[in-house]
Amino acid sequence: MEDTVLVVNCGSSSLKLALFDGQHRKLASAVAERLNQNDAFARIAGDKDTIPLKPGTSHNAALEAMVSAFRDRQLITSVPAAIGHRVVHGGETFREAVLIDEGVISAIEACAGLAPLHNPVNLSGIRATLALFPGVPQAAVFDTAFHQTLPKHAFLYALPEAWYQHWGVRRYGFHGTSHAFMAAEAARLLARTPATTSVISAHLGNGCSVTAIRDGSSVDTSMGLTPLEGLVMGTRSGDVDPGLFDFLRSKGVAADEVHRVLNQESGLLGLSGQTNDMRSLCELADHGHEPSRTAIDVFCFRLARYIGAMMASLRHLDALVFTGGIGENSARVRQDTISHLHLMGFELSEDLNKHHGKFSDRRIDSAGSRFPVLVIPTNEELAIAREASRLAGAADPASPPPVTR
């Protein structure tokens, strides 16, 4: 057994692997995309050549091929000390990461109805690595676990109570691993402890969510029963009036088609009619494409509204944090969002924002800002590796502490 940690992240049609050493430094990573489709492919980061995959390759087969490629390149020479899995939905069962056993697998299966596109493929990854590495401690790290501290007034919908009691209809929240990492990193940068740090964390990628974190614990978040609620996202609509379903039914559009469009053809893609990529939208907007400009405006205004709403759940605010691919790299999105929040006292430094806080201890606020504003790169893979090591008892004493929850 070697002192490494393997991290497995199965998406609905993708698979990401990352290998860390005993001090949680990344050794290698790989990604497979378009799984279960005819043009499936996989590649190790830094390699020009792809890993051969057959048309229609499943998550199981892709994982086996990627592990075999790691072995061929001597990246894995023995069995890892621990394996960590991202699992999207843990329902109310899991409040923290856990070592995987048959009971945990059954509980993840029971939550599959709440995340039908993700939990089944998360389980595929778990079963594949259990077969490839029997006897190696494996941990499940849940997107929803960090949000299990939400108070009842924040997680309940104004719906018949029986729907919650019988079917678990409530706000669960997602991106919890990223938001927990933000809480710990913000506390470190502000020279505080996580248990005394309160931040608003904005995770902005193809999926987007914002979370109010009070004294290290999640107390409100924008995503709900599913990852569809809340902010405008790459292809997801975020908040819409539920009456939309009845209205569109009267136009001959079936509910399952509305659901598909809200998840796959809405958000930035739907508004712009062009793309879900924020970089491309900014270029199009700069060249006079009005729908792209509108998409950016709607995205930033919705985000600002949610940041303002999160203030209601906090007693004080130590920082607003931007993370995720858009949050970390789009100075325009950050500036346009903050422009709606002057009444609350947020102000950005144009120069620090332009450089994404890289030369200013991650701060991009101006001297006159009422609150610090930070840009912190997220690292969900590292957070999962730390949790897997902690649970397996395999962490090096000299390595950084696990993410505090």
Q: What is the mean pLDDT of the chain?
A: 94
Residue of 319, 402, 361 lying closest to 189 (CA atoms): 361
Asked if 5 and 394 touch (Cβ cutoff 8 Å), the reply is yes
Q: Which of 46-55, 149-158, 177-186, 235-244 has the lowest mean pLDDT?
A: 46-55
- The band of 396, judged by pLDDT with boundaries at 50, 70 and 90, is very low
- The band of 402, judged by pLDDT with boundaries at 50, 70 and 90, is very low
Q: Which of 39, 72, 101, 143 is catalytic?
A: 143
How far is 249 from 135, CA to CA, in rounded Å? 52
Cβ contacts of 230 within 8 Å, gap of 6 or more = 208, 209, 210, 221, 222, 223, 224, 238, 239, 306
Name the more confident of 215 and 47: 215
- The band of 238, judged by pLDDT with boundaries at 50, 70 and 90, is very high
Question: For the residues 284-288, what does the mean pLDDT come to?
Answer: 97
143 is catalytic: yes
Name the more confident of 206 and 337: 337
Output the CA torsion 43→98→401→210 (10° steps).
70
How far is 140 from 82, CA to CA, in rounded Å? 11
The pLDDT > 70 percentage for the chain reads 97
- Position 398 scores a pLDDT of 41
- Position 339 scores a pLDDT of 98
How far is 53 from 132, CA to CA, in rounded Å? 18
- The band of 278, judged by pLDDT with boundaries at 50, 70 and 90, is very high
pTM for the whole structure: 0.90
- Position 123 scores a pLDDT of 95
Tell me the per-residue pLDDT of 3-26, one tens digit each, with 9 for 90 and over. Answer: 899 999 998 888 999 999 999 999
Residue of 146, 305, 317 lying closest to 219 (CA atoms): 146
- The band of 400, judged by pLDDT with boundaries at 50, 70 and 90, is very low
Asked if 166 and 180 touch (Cβ cutoff 8 Å), the reply is no
Asked if 84 and 7 touch (Cβ cutoff 8 Å), the reply is yes
Strands 82-87 and 208-214: what pairing?
Answer: unpaired
pLDDT at 308 over 90: yes
How far is 92 from 168, CA to CA, in rounded Å? 8
- Position 404 scores a pLDDT of 35
Cβ contacts of 291 within 8 Å, gap of 6 or more = 271, 272, 273, 274
Tell me the torsion sign for CA atoms 174, 178, 184, 185: negative
- Position 36 scores a pLDDT of 86
* 8-state DSSP, 31: E
- Position 113 scores a pLDDT of 85
